[in-house]
Amino acid sequence: MSAPKLPDRVRATGDPEWASRGACRDVDPETLFVVGAAQHKAKVICLRCPVRFDCLADALDSRTEFGVWGGMTERERRTLLRRRPDIASWRAFFAGSDQDESLASLPQPMRVVK
């Protein structure tokens, strides 16, 4: 039996130039490098970003410690990495080739705003 597929909107695009397409490309970079509760306000920028899951995959795979990436705060990413040590490549996970659970079972910050 094959693994369930995530809807297209939560998939990484696979575009190596994803950073140039981010919703934050014209925003002051400091906006996403705030601390504490301000990160929850900052991550709203990411919710409709067309390359959100490319960005998140890079941050998770490279264990980026600081700032908001892919719509998740640094604390949320740490929690996710602790919960899912079995995921060796988040890029592959978001590409759908290494995915083993439905969107509904993912933590809330990873869900997509429609």
Where along the sequence are the contacts to ligand SF4 (CB under 6 A)? 22-24, 32, 45-46, 49, 51-52, 55, 68-71
In the bound state with ligand SF4, the residue whose beta carbon lies nearer, of 3 and 27, is: 27
In the bound state with ligand SF4, the residue whose beta carbon lies nearer, of 24 and 95, is: 24
Are 76 and 47 in contact by the 8 Å Cβ rule? The answer is no
CA distance 15 to 103: 22
For the chain, the residue count is 114
Shortest spacing between CB 94 and ligand SF4, in angstroms: 12
In the bound state with ligand SF4, the residue whose beta carbon lies nearer, of 15 and 101, is: 15
Are 46 and 55 in contact by the 8 Å Cβ rule? The answer is yes
